């Protein structure tokens, strides 16, 4: 166990306990005779606004027919989904309450591997306040394939125990600030959990409050990670970057002059090592932003600029 100031841990937990909620859902499923049956689900959530906004995982509330929220003072109230985003696994709920204590969020771009963190949530629907587990940030910028869903990018990996029911709960630092939101565990693995960065949670929540959906910037390519094997097999100039497999006609990438077989190695001044880097750079921008792309085509290297548009798949 990493030696830490126990009083700081206690104060951080006390602070965070004021904004951690339980999320209980009812979903209708059909049996083999096509009869509908209600099935209960549970998760955790984070109070995002004093006016009744709560963030949780999209997979916790997607397809839910009924949502009830248990607040830190044990009051129970009904909630409704403002919007959900499968690509980030973030959903926003609204409850008819005001005067709530919202969470304070930390800038997740400042996180370092090895930082001490605490995971709070309501595993297994246990009553009596959130459960706390401790650990460190094991890795940054992880990507996982959600079961039956999309690949989720730019995740934090932690060894703090994340149990069933913790999904949607906060990962906090010793100041009681949210650094991430727990999202998944790998079954049968020891000490491997994942969380969505606080910056992603805030961006998704703000866009849902303002627009009712996430406006995701779009370049318009299909690509794969470059590797030394691909570079050697096709006799390409570099072994890093994103190899363009196809370009959508009339997309920003098409107008930038990108074509099949090109390699993207830089966005503005940021080096691109692979597809996760490219997606992370695009996510930091907005539809309408102009970006500069450094491209390798054969033995030539050139710069091209284009303006991102809203993804047609949002």
* Residue 130, pLDDT score: 84
- Does residue 1 register a pLDDT over 60? no
Residue 240 φ/ψ, nearest 5 degrees? -140, 170
Q: CA–CA separation, 17 vs 35, rounded Å?
A: 40
SS3 259: coil
* Residue 161, pLDDT score: 86
Instruction: Give the rounded percent of residues in the chain with a pLDDT score beyond 90.
Output: 68
pLDDT in tens, 122-148: 865 556 678 899 999 999 988 887 666
Whole-model pTM: value is 0.84
- Where, residue-wise, is CATH 2.40.10.10 in the chain? 104-200
Task: Catalytic residue, from 44, 59, 198, 277: name it.
Answer: 59
Active site residue 59: yes
Nearest to 111 by CA among 136, 80, 144: 136
Assess contact for 215 and 55: CB atoms under 8 A. Answer: no
| 228 pLDDT tier (thresholds 50, 70, 90) | very high
User: What number does CATH give the domain 217-310?
Assistant: 2.30.42.10
The class of domain 104-200 in CATH terms is mainly beta
Assess contact for 17 and 72: CB atoms under 8 A. Answer: yes
Q: Which helix (H) or strand (E) holds 306?
A: strand 300-307
Q: DSSP per residue over 125-155, as a string?
A: G-SSS-EEEEEEEEEEEEEEE-TTSPEEEEE
- Where, residue-wise, is CATH 2.30.42.10 in the chain? 217-310
The average pLDDT across 230-239 equals 90
Burial of 211 (0-12, 13-18, 19+ CB in 10 A): exposed
Token pair of 161 as six digits: 């125990």
Mean pLDDT, the chain, whole residue set: 89
Task: Catalytic residue, from 44, 88, 167, 251: name it.
Answer: 167
Nearest to 20 by CA among 87, 99, 100: 100
* Residue 146, pLDDT score: 65
* Residue 181, pLDDT score: 97
The average pLDDT across 258-263 equals 95
* Residue 290, pLDDT score: 96
Q: CA–CA separation, 121 vs 190, rounded Å?
A: 19
- With b for 16 or more beta-carbon neighbours within 10 A and e for fewer, the 163-199 pattern comes to bebbbbbbbbbbebbbbbbbbbbeeeeeebbbbbbbb
SS3 45: strand
* Residue 127, pLDDT score: 60
70 forms bridges with which residues in the sheet? 22, 76
- Does residue 155 register a pLDDT over 80? yes
Active site residue 154: no
- Does residue 69 register a pLDDT over 90? yes
- Does residue 4 register a pLDDT over 80? no
Q: CA–CA separation, 82 vs 93, rounded Å?
A: 5
From its phi and psi, is residue 165 left (phi > 0), alpha (psi between -120 and 50) or beta? left
Task: Catalytic residue, from 89, 154, 262, 277: name it.
Answer: 89
By mean pLDDT, which of 47-51, 94-98, 148-152, 230-234 is the weakest? 148-152
Q: CA–CA separation, 171 vs 181, rounded Å?
A: 6
Q: CA–CA separation, 84 vs 279, rounded Å?
A: 20
The average pLDDT across 175-192 equals 82
Establish how many alpha carbons lie within 13 A of residue 241's alpha carbon, considering only the half-sphere containing its beta carbon: 22
Active site residue 107: no
SS3 88: coil
The separation between CA 292 and the C-alpha centre of its own chain, rounded to angstroms, equals 26
């Amino acid at each position: 166990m990493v030696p830490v100031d126990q009083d700081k841990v206690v104060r951080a937990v006390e602070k965070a306990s004021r904004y951690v909620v339980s999320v209980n859902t009812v979903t209708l499923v059909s049996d083999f005779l096509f009869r509908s049956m209600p099935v209960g689900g549970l998760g955790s959530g984070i109070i995002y606004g004093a006016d009744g906004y709560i963030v949780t995982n999209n997979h916790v509330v997607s397809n839910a027919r009924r949502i009830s929220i248990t607040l830190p003072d044990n009051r129970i109230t009904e909630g409704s989904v403002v919007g959900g985003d499968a690509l980030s696994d973030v959903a926003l709920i609204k409850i008819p309450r005001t005067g709530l204590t919202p969470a304070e969020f930390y800038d997740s771009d400042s996180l370092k591997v090895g930082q001490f963190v605490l995971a709070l949530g309501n595993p297994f629907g246990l009553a009596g306040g959130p459960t706390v587990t401790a650990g460190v940030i094991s890795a940054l910028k992880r990507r996982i394939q959600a079961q039956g869903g999309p690949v989720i990018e730019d995740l934090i990996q932690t060894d703090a125990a994340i149990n069933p029911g913790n999904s949607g709960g906060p990962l906090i630092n010793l100041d009681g600030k949210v650094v991430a939101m727990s999202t998944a565990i790998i079954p049968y693995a020891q000490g491997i959990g994942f969380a969505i960065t606080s910056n992603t949670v805030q961006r998704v929540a703000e866009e849902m409050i303002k627009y009712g959906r996430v406006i995701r910037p779009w370049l318009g390519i299909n690509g794969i990670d470059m590797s030394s094997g691909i570079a050697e097999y096709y006799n390409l100039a570099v072994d890093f970057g994103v190899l363009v497999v196809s370009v959508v006609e009339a997309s920003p990438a098409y107008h930038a002059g990108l074509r099949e077989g090109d390699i993207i190695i830089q966005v503005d001044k940021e080096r691109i090592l692979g597809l996760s880097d490219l997606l992370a750079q695009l996510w930091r921008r907005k539809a309408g932003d102009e970006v500069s792309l450094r491209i390798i085509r054969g033995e030539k290297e050139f710069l091209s600029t284009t303006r991102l548009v809203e993804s047609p798949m949002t």
